[in-house]
A and B are shown apart, each in its own frame.
Chain A
Amino acid sequence: MADTPIQAAPHEARAPEVPSVAEVLQDLAKTSILKVQNYSKLSYHSITNLATGPRYAQDTLDQMDDIGVGSLPIVLLSGFFIGAVMVLQTGTQFERFGQASLTGDIVSLALVRELGPSITGLLVAGRCSSGIASELGSMVVTEQVDAMRAMGTDPSRKLVTPRVLATLITLPLLTTISVFVGLLGGMVASVLSLRINATTFWERAIKILEFSDIMQGFSKTVVFAFLIATVGCYQGLNVRGGTQGVGRATTQAVVVASVLIIISDTFLTKVALYLADKFF
């Protein structure tokens, strides 16, 4: 223990330097690269954490309940009416050529390949990406994440991996339910509006589907689920600036996840069509 006190002279405050345009651009580029790097690391660890313990099964189940069961009402409701509106839009066109019975084919293909995964993905992104970002963001600003780390818990294992895993499991299931309910909605609309027999609609809707169509839809849901959860977690865990920052992160999570879903959908469709052409 020091008995003799030490004393030092304080530093003199220096005037802040004004950065040049080049420096600002350089900083912007560095920040962007750093964000991509951090997002990649978070995404990578969210999966590799599964290989080693500790694993948080109860947290994963809780998240599955929140993300999966919690999203069910909006997915059911929107799925039904999207199927119905698809029939109304396409059926009138087919009727002009006397091919109203083709409505079931086109609605089924559109829902399984495209609308089911993307609409469900966007809905879940709106509900869960924001929820994840705000929950984790609040934990960051109230130092709960630091407290977790201080107690020897890896937030990536405890907070990120359960959410990613839960979304990866529940989004394909939600999409399947959404597609089914969409076909029901389409069937109801075609019976009531186009006077098509329900059995005919259902038979055509099922028969037109091939394995490649189902795989295309399924592969999209897996990618979308990963994007929804990792973007939400990344935005939440990187909150800066208190409650205002939490609000900003929440908005950004929805925007970034939605945009990434739409962009990746284009590439996934192209890849899926190529693979279907080559292998199925």
Chain B
Amino acid sequence: MATGQPSIEFKDVRLGFSEGEILRGVTFSAQERETVILLGETGTGKTLLLKLASGLLRPDSGSIRVLGKNISGIPESELLEMRRQIGFVFQEGALFDSLTVGENVAYRLREDAVDEVEIEPRIKEVLRFVELAHTTDLLPSELSGGMRRRVAIARALVSRPPIVLYDSPTAGLDPITSQAIISLILRLRDVYGVTALLATHRLQDGFALANFHFDPQSRKVRRDSSLELSHAAPTRFLVLRAGEIYFEGTPDALMKSPDPYLQRFLI
């Protein structure tokens, strides 16, 4: 990928199903290390955008470039290769229910025929990162909803992808668990420097990512001061409405917007 080129770039992307056109000419980009929050009501196409970015769906028209490669027209075999550079955290985790937590996390490494000697420490490392080192031999059904999301994050980051896509990672979780998940996403961003698209309908998730950072020295999540903010990984909001980008801008611009629709998210 050429320097300065966006990690993810959508140009006039359209996608429809039998019930009609869901995405109507979506254009946006995410720079390297940037976190883009896709905000919108249920059914506005947030998940579709993530699936398009990972090549799980193909657009009807428009182009999608990921890490400098146009993925909208390439065959599935090439997409499979490309997806190895993307971590995808699904809404409900989408863990393989017949595999243990350890096997779930190791799945991609085993697919890539990584040496078993190397796999074991990698599993331990990522499970420690999500604070679930004790769950290696448990089945997903034995975990709580929040733990399953954390395992899903561990599974997504085990191959250290430069891009991570989060599909409503806090949906249906209690506030404390949601906070723990967001802290984890913060750490992942600030420790590994990943580019991220995060779909959510919770504005507070986006503001937490925009206003906090993980301090590796103290190993704590801290609120950004104005000085630190200039060095922090940038966070930007995209608000989707009726299949279009209704708003694109910084957290500050969103906060100050007088638009009545956007105000509804702020209440």
B235-262 CB mask vs A (1 if < 8 Å, else 0) is: 0100001111111111001100101010
Q: Mark A3-18, 1 if CB is under 8 A from B, else 0.
A: 1111110110100000
B108:A152 contact, CB within 8 angstroms: yes
A5 lies within 8 A of B253 (CB): yes
Stretch at the interface among B78-86, B171-179, B201-209, B217-225: B78-86
Let me know if A153 is at the binding interface, CB within 8 A. Answer: yes
Return chain B residues, CB-CB under 8 Å to A263.
Answer: none
Within the assembled complex, what's the spacing in Å between the Cα atoms of A143 and B90? 8
Residues of chain B lying within 8 A (CB to CB) of residue A10: 241-242, 244, 246, 261
| Measured CA separation A13–B241 after assembly (Å) | 12
Closest residue of A by beta carbon distance from B77: A154
Q: With an 8 A cutoff between CB atoms, is B116 at the interface?
A: no
In the complex, A26 has a CB within 8 A of chain B: no
- Number of A-B residue pairs, CB cutoff 8 Å, is 92
Q: How far is the CB of B245 from chain A (nearest CB, A)?
A: 7
A146 within 8 A of B: yes
What is the chain A residue whose CB lies nearest that of B80?
A152
Q: How far is the CA of A2 from the CA of B6 in the complex (A)?
A: 13
Evaluate contact between A144 and B250: CB separation under 8 angstroms: no
Nearest residue (CB) in B for A145 is: B94
Let me know if A142 and B242 touch, CB within 8 A. Answer: no
Cβ–Cβ < 8 Å partners of A13 in chain B: 242
Are the CB atoms of A154 and B96 closer together than 8 Å? no
Residue of A nearest to B30 (CB): A1
* B34 contacts A by Cβ under 8 Å: yes
- How far apart sit A148 and B196, CA to CA, in the bound complex (Å)? 20
Interface range for A: 20 to 34
Contact assessment for A143 and B249 in the assembled complex, using a CB-CB cutoff below 8 Å: no
> When chains A and B are docked, how far (Å) is the Cα of A190 from the Cα of B84?
64
- Expressed in whole angstroms, the minimum distance between the Cβ of B151 and any Cβ of chain A is 12
Q: Smallest CB–CB gap between A117 and chain B, Å?
A: 31
CB-nearest residue of chain B to A153 = B111
Cα distance A1–B229 when bound, in Å? 14
Which of A147, A148, A154 is packed against the most chain B CB atoms within 10 Å? A147
On chain B, the residues within 8 Å of A149 by CB distance are 56, 80, 83
Cα distance A5–B249 in the bound complex, in angstroms: 4
The answer on a CB contact under 8 Å between B254 and A5 is yes
Report the minimal beta-carbon distance from A82 to chain B, rounded to whole angstroms: 34
Does A242 touch B at the CB level, under 8 Å?
Answer: no
Q: Is the CB of B244 within 8 A of A8?
A: yes
A44 to B56, CA, bound (A): 21
Q: Which among A3, A8, A150, A152 is the interface contact of B245 at CB below 8 angstroms?
A: A8
Known: A11-B24, A153-B111. A3 touches B94 (CB 8 A): no
A21 within 8 Å of B (CB atoms): no
Bound Cα distance from A149 to B86, whole angstroms: 11
Question: Do A150 and B56 have beta carbons less than 8 Å apart?
Answer: yes
B80 touches A153 (CB 8 A): yes
Residues of chain B contacted by A143 (CB below 8 angstroms): 90-92, 94
Judge whether A151 is part of the interface by a CB distance below 8 angstroms.
yes
Whether A144 contacts B31 in the complex (CB less than 8 A), given A5-B249, A6-B249, comes out as no
* B76 touches A (CB below 8 Å): yes
- Does A70 count as interface, using CB distance less than 8 angstroms? no
Is B94's CB under 8 angstroms from A144's CB?
yes
| Residue B7 at the chain A interface, CB threshold 8 Å | no
Residue of A nearest to B81 (CB): A152
B234, CB-defined interface residue at 8 Å: yes
Instruction: Say yes or no: A146 contacts B94, CB within 8 Å.
Output: yes
Q: For chain B residues 21-49, which have a beta carbon within 8 Å of chain A?
A: 24, 31, 34
Q: List CB contacts (< 8 Å) of A1-49 with chain B.
A: 1-8, 10-11, 13
Question: Does B54 make an interface contact (CB < 8 A)?
Answer: yes
Distance of A250 Cα from B31 Cα, bound (Å): 45
Please determine whether A144 and B96 come into contact, CB atoms closer than 8 angstroms: yes
The residue on B at minimum CB distance from A31 is B18
- A7, A8, A144, A150 — most chain B CB neighbours (10 Å): A150
Chain A residues with CB under 8 A of B76: 154
| Closest residue on chain A to residue B167 by CB atoms | A143
- Would B236 and A147 count as touching, CB distance under 8 A? no
B125 within 8 Å of A (CB atoms): no
Shortest distance from the beta carbon of A159 to any chain B beta carbon, whole Å: 11
CB-CB < 8 A to B236: which residues of A? 1-2
Question: Other CB < 8 Å A-B pairs besides A147-B88, A150-B54, 9 of them?
Answer: A1-B250, A6-B249, A8-B241, A10-B261, A11-B24, A143-B92, A146-B51, A147-B95, A154-B77
B residues apposed to A, CB below 8 Å: 24, 31, 34, 51, 54, 56, 76-77, 80-81, 83-84, 86, 88, 90-92, 94-97, 107-108, 111, 155, 234, 236, 241-250, 253-254, 257, 259, 261
5 closest A-B pairs by beta carbon, nearest first, are A5-B249, A147-B94, A150-B88, A143-B94, A152-B84
Q: List 12 A-B contacts (CB under 8 A).
A: A1-B250, A3-B250, A4-B249, A5-B257, A10-B261, A11-B242, A142-B97, A143-B94, A146-B56, A147-B96, A150-B54, A151-B84
